[in-house]
Structure formats: C-alpha cells, structure tokens
C-alpha cells in the first residue's frame, strides 16, 4: 500500500491497468480497480488516495484500518471483485 501523491502518479497507475485505488473520503471509502472510469476525474489532492497492487492486500489492510463495514467496493467497476489480468 502507498499513498498516491499527485495526478501524474495517479495517471501512471491508471495507465498500468493493474491494481486498486481507495478514494478515502470522510463520508465514504470506495475501492476502485484502476480501470474504473470514475478515477479519471479524481484529483489526488482532494482526498487521500491509497494504491494497492492486489485485491487481497487491499481488503486485509482496509478491514484493519477502517473495519470491514466502513469501506466498500465501487458499484461501477466492482473494486476488489474485478481481478487484475494475468
């Protein structure tokens, strides 16, 4: 896990096609697959963004940090349910 620090890094991660990004807003925490179209409009400075390479890693750390009922998978892309292509 690492914090996405700027738009350049976010763009690079989106272009890679691999991984997951949590948009950490005060009112909700949504996990997106990097292919999610909603990520293209996001600005890293608006809310903290966390990058995870694997869905299992994301789920484990998010459950530990926020609790299993205090974050969700994106309804559009499926979040952790959309697996990275191999």
Q: What is the pLDDT of residues 76-86, one digit of tens each?
A: 999 988 755 43
Segments forming the whole domain that contains residue 10: 2-81
- Position 34 in a domain: yes
- Position 45 in a domain: yes
Q: How far apart are CA 30 and CA 86, in angstroms?
A: 24
- H or E element that contains 44: none
Q: How far apart are CA 66 and CA 76, in angstroms?
A: 22
Give tens-digit pLDDT for 66-76.
Answer: 999 999 999 99
- Position 86 in a domain: no
pLDDT given for residue 84 in this prediction: 52
pLDDT given for residue 63 in this prediction: 96
- Position 21 in a domain: yes
Work out how many domains the chain is built from and give that number: 1
pLDDT given for residue 2 in this prediction: 95
Q: Count CB-CB contacts under 10 A for residue 52.
A: 21
Give tens-digit pLDDT for 32-66.
Answer: 999 999 888 887 788 999 999 999 999 999 999 99
């Amino acid at each position: 896990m690492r914090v996405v620090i700027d738009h350049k890094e976010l763009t690079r991660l989106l272009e890679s096609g691999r991984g997951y990004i949590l948009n950490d807003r005060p009112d909700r925490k949504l996990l997106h697959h990097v292919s999610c179209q909603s990520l293209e409009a996001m600005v890293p400075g608006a809310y903290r963004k966390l990058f995870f390479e694997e869905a299992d890693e994301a789920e484990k750390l998010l459950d530990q940090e926020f609790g299993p009922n205090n974050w969700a998978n994106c309804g559009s892309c499926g979040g952790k349910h959309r697996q990275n292509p191999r």
